[in-house]
Amino acid sequence: MSTAYDEATEGKVYSVNGADWDEVVTGVRDSEEERLVVNMGPQHPSTHGVLRLVLTLDGETVTEARSVIGYLHTGIEKNMEFRTWTQGSTFVTRMDYLSPIFNETAYCMGVEKLLGITDRVPERAQAIRVMMMELNRISSHLVAMGTFGMELGATTPFLFGYRDRELVMDLFEYITGLRMNHAYVRPGGVSVDLPAGTVDKVGEFLKEMPKRIKDIRKLLDENPVYVRRTKDVGYLDLTGCMALGITGPILRAAGLPWDLRKTQPYCGYETYEFDVATERGCDVYSRYLVRMQEMEESLKIIEQALDRIAGPLKGEPVMIEDKKIGWPAQLALGPDGFGNSPDHIAHIMGTSMEALIHHFKLVTEGFRVPAGQAYASIESPKGELGAHVVSDGGTRPYRVHFREPSFCNLQGFPAMAEGGQVADVIAAVASIDPVMGGVDR
Amino acid sequence: MTSPDNLPGSPDSGETPEVPVPAVPESPVARRGMFGAQDTGDTSGYGGLVVRRAPQISTPRPYGGYFDELVDALGLDDAIERVVVDRGELTLHVKRERLVEVCQKLRDDPALRFELSLGVTGVHYPHLAGEELHAVIHLCSMTHNRRVRVEASAPDADPHIPSTVGVYPGHDWHEREAYDFFGIIFDGHPALTRIMMPDDWEGFPQRKDYPLGGIPVEYRGATIPSPDQRRSYS
């Protein structure tokens, strides 16, 4: 299938819609062209969302690989400039939708830095953030490993990954009310305290999860097919990672133990005991091993955070005490399933005019943030997630930019794929674990 | 409770109609009054609000921490317009023509070693005449565990900033994004094309003068304007 216009500008063009490969094969057999340019995506089951790959092939070898992005651009950064600082949480949570808690935390840390209240965020809120982030790291890695297996042709890891992710999703739903897009972390703390029974539920999760991780390891660690498809594939060494600004599991799989939780701790990570997973293979298999080990380390951190939440930090506030900043989100479960706490309503409507004014002003106008700019960064499951937050002194962000690790890491894809086999392209992309919501924002 | 600000034609509110983005760049006061109401539309009775614009700050020495050492090691004082230390972060405002040189030295000097770049992003300050467009680069030194922010600016009329792809190859997509959203032209970039918006898109969406879009919400004859048209506090 081709038109004169296409042939004039781009050579012979074939559109493959399935079951018409014969046409391509016969066409290419008679062709004098040495190269074949394959356009993969933006809608393709193996491209991790709406990512388009343009591959130039010489036989089975990829001579040139380019990725085209922007299909999921939603203008989140621009939209945030027209909402209050607190409402920003609900926007950023939708960027990298597989690690919403990280987006929220990075953003809130940026706002807190601008407000100068980083040290005044309650310890219990920090411990909850840490616990939620590590739960989220596990769920994100499970999706990464699950889809990874599926893209290489194995459906069992996919089913295992998604089944086990449900455990985390259930916890998130129980704690925040939503499986995804929580807007749970707010500037100054977290929106609500953990509901009763959380400690038990997370405790059960901690008992169950090591078995589940072991199951996936049993499936993949020594699986000869998997190992052959991933070992020495998608090679990117430390030099390449540094040049391209690649962080996260890819960097650690190249042997550098760079983890912001250790090197530039935030949210009290310096007080938790855990190891940084590293491998030396620089390949897809090493990245898999790093992610698996990180999940196991995350379980350790969750356990420590849970001990603090249930122990010394029990009953402590989860939102900054400053009434000019702390969002008045005293929620209680009503008969309809949600709602404000009756005590809070009685307080603002019946006894305290000031409380009512604060509630009204905070919700409608929002708080003002002193002018300036700040950069806050955290170690997300994909790498360094940074929030560059600029304020002009108003109640809305002047500019928010996210340094999305998926965006930066995806730049490394040509370096991993060029010169390799076309089948290895899938493994290389999957090992980057790009989430297009984060790449395109 | 009526403030003079809410009365029509009061001297305090100025002769020209107030707009969300202030028209007078020299004044440190961006706006007075709650919503910029010209008539008695503001029924809150609160008109004493003064929105101030952030001053251009420049921090004198000593900067504190490792910042002094860093600026000394860089030793390119003639390339640096001003140094700002704010909220524990160091910002070097660099002359745009010297940007590549500064980045190169920041990366290669053994005392600096900012190997990891976290990318380039743009910020549009329409009220800063002559330096409306800023390119902001965040750098991280893994060797010394330090961070620094490098900022270069260009006027709206001449939006050119030299490309730093040669120093940090990872800037490729970041500069394309900053071009796409702000129209900053990075001279020397290997292929400066749009990256997020469609290739034939017109305008630069994250500039402050670019409308957000959206449609007014109508309910029983009354309409609520789209978010960028609504009255706002800031």
How many other C-beta atoms can be found within 10 angstroms of the C-beta atom of residue B86? 17
Percent of chain A with pLDDT over 90: 36
Which residues of chain B neighbour A374 with C-beta distances below 8 Å? 87, 89
Percent of chain B with pLDDT over 70: 75
Cis peptide upstream of residue B62 (ω within 30 degrees of 0): yes
Instruction: Give the long-range contacts of residues B126-131, CB within 8 A, separation 24 or more.
Output: B126/B21, B126/B156, B126/B207, B126/B208, B126/B209, B127/B21, B127/B22, B127/B25, B127/B30, B127/B53, B128/B25, B128/B56, B128/B153, B129/B25, B129/B155, B130/B155, B131/B155
Percent of chain A with pLDDT over 70: 90
pLDDT at site A166: 92
Q: Are strands B222-224 and B217-219 parallel, antiparallel or unpaired?
A: antiparallel
pLDDT at site A195: 85
For residue A382, give how far its alpha carbon lies from the nearest alpha carbon of chain B (Å): 14
How many other C-beta atoms can be found within 10 angstroms of the C-beta atom of residue A222? 9
pLDDT at site A272: 92
Q: In this complex, do B89 and A374 lie within 8 Å of one another by their Cβ atoms?
A: yes
Q: Which residues of B touch A (CB under 8 A)?
A: 30, 51-54, 86-89, 91, 115-119, 121, 123-124, 136, 138, 140, 142, 145, 147, 149, 168-174, 194-198, 205-206, 212, 227-228, 232-234
ipTM entry = 0.83
Q: In this complex, do A399 and B145 lie within 8 Å of one another by their Cβ atoms?
A: no
For residue B188, give how far its alpha carbon lies from the nearest alpha carbon of chain A (Å): 18
Q: Which domains does chain A have, with CATH numbers?
A: 4-68 (no CATH), 117-326+405-440 (1.10.645.10)
Predicted confidence (pLDDT) at residue B44 exceeds the cutoff of 60? no
Q: Where residue A368 falls among pLDDT bands split at 50, 70, 90?
A: confident
**Residue written as token pair 């670019």:** B210
Which residues of chain B neighbour A245 with C-beta distances below 8 Å? 116-119, 168, 170-171
Mean pLDDT of A189-206: 89
Predicted confidence (pLDDT) at residue B12 exceeds the cutoff of 50? no
Mean pLDDT for all residues in chain B: 79
Q: Quick one: tokens of B89?
A: 């972060």
Q: Where residue B50 falls among pLDDT bands split at 50, 70, 90?
A: low
Mean pLDDT of A249-275: 91
Predicted confidence (pLDDT) at residue B25 exceeds the cutoff of 60? no
Predicted confidence (pLDDT) at residue A165 exceeds the cutoff of 80? yes
Mean pLDDT of B207-234: 80
Which residues of chain A neighbour B171 with C-beta distances below 8 Å? 245
The larger pLDDT score, comparing residue A97 to residue B37, is at: A97
Q: Who among B54, B118, B206 is closest to A245 (CB)?
A: B118
pLDDT at site A8: 58
pLDDT at site B135: 93
* Nearest chain A alpha carbon to B125: A398
The larger pLDDT score, comparing residue A338 to residue A264, is at: A264
Pick the residue of A69, A375, A382, A408 with the most B CBs within 10 A to test the interface with B by mutation. A375
* Nearest chain B alpha carbon to A77: B206
For residue B158, give how far its alpha carbon lies from the nearest alpha carbon of chain A (Å): 22
Domain boundaries, chain B: 1-53, 67-187
Q: Who among B89, B142, B233 is closest to A258 (CB)?
A: B142
Predicted confidence (pLDDT) at residue B41 exceeds the cutoff of 60? no
Predicted confidence (pLDDT) at residue A365 exceeds the cutoff of 50? yes
- With the CA atoms of A249, A250, A251 and A254 taken in that order, what torsion angle do they form, in degrees rounded to the nearest 10? 110
pLDDT in tens, A349-363: 888 888 888 788 888
What do you get for the CA distance between the two ends of chain B, in Å?
Answer: 22
Cis peptide upstream of residue A42 (ω within 30 degrees of 0): yes
CA distance A310 to A388: 34
Q: Are strands B89-94 and B146-154 parallel, antiparallel or unpaired?
A: parallel
CA-CA distances (angstroms) from residue B27 to B24, B51, B52, B54, B220?
6, 11, 9, 11, 42
pLDDT at site B17: 41
Mean pLDDT of B121-136: 89
pLDDT at site B13: 38
Mean pLDDT of A326-347: 69
Mean pLDDT of A186-214: 90
CA pseudo-torsion sign A280, A281, A284, A288: negative
Is residue A114 less than 8 Å (CB to CB) from chain B? yes
Name every residue whose Cβ is closer than 8 Å to that of residue A213 and which is 6 or more positions away in sequence: A164, A292, A295, A296, A299
Predicted confidence (pLDDT) at residue B20 exceeds the cutoff of 50? no
Q: In this complex, do A372 and B86 lie within 8 Å of one another by their Cβ atoms?
A: yes
* Nearest chain B alpha carbon to A384: B118
Number of Cβ pairs < 8 A linking chain A and chain B = 116
Q: In this complex, do B227 and A374 lie within 8 Å of one another by their Cβ atoms?
A: no
Predicted confidence (pLDDT) at residue A110 exceeds the cutoff of 90? yes
pLDDT at site B39: 54
Q: Whose CA is closest to A250, among A402, A118, A366, A384?
A: A384
The mean-pLDDT minimum among A52-66, B155-169, B213-227 falls in: B213-227
Q: Where residue B30 falls among pLDDT bands split at 50, 70, 90?
A: low
Mean pLDDT of A35-60: 77
pLDDT in tens, B63-88: 888 888 888 888 888 888 888 888 88
Q: In this complex, do A403 and B119 lie within 8 Å of one another by their Cβ atoms?
A: yes
CATH class of B67-187: alpha beta
pLDDT at site A394: 80
CB contact burial A309-335 (16+ within 10 A = b; e otherwise): bbeebeeeebbbeeeebbbbbbeeeee
pLDDT at site A142: 92
Q: A254 forms bridges with which residues in the sheet? A: none
DSSP-derived 3-state class of residue A361: helix
Q: Where residue A429 falls among pLDDT bands split at 50, 70, 90?
A: confident
Predicted confidence (pLDDT) at residue A131 exceeds the cutoff of 90? yes
Which residues of chain B neighbour A386 with C-beta distances below 8 Å? 118, 138
CA distance A227 to A302: 30
Mean pLDDT of A259-286: 90
CA-CA distances (angstroms) from residue A435 to A72, A99, A198, A403, B81?
10, 9, 29, 13, 39
pLDDT in tens, A71-83: 889 889 998 988 8
CB B87 within 8 A of CB A116: yes
Q: Where residue B55 falls among pLDDT bands split at 50, 70, 90?
A: low
For residue A107, give how far its alpha carbon lies from the nearest alpha carbon of chain B (Å): 16
pLDDT at site A358: 79
Which residues of chain B neighbour A69 with C-beta distances below 8 Å? 195-196
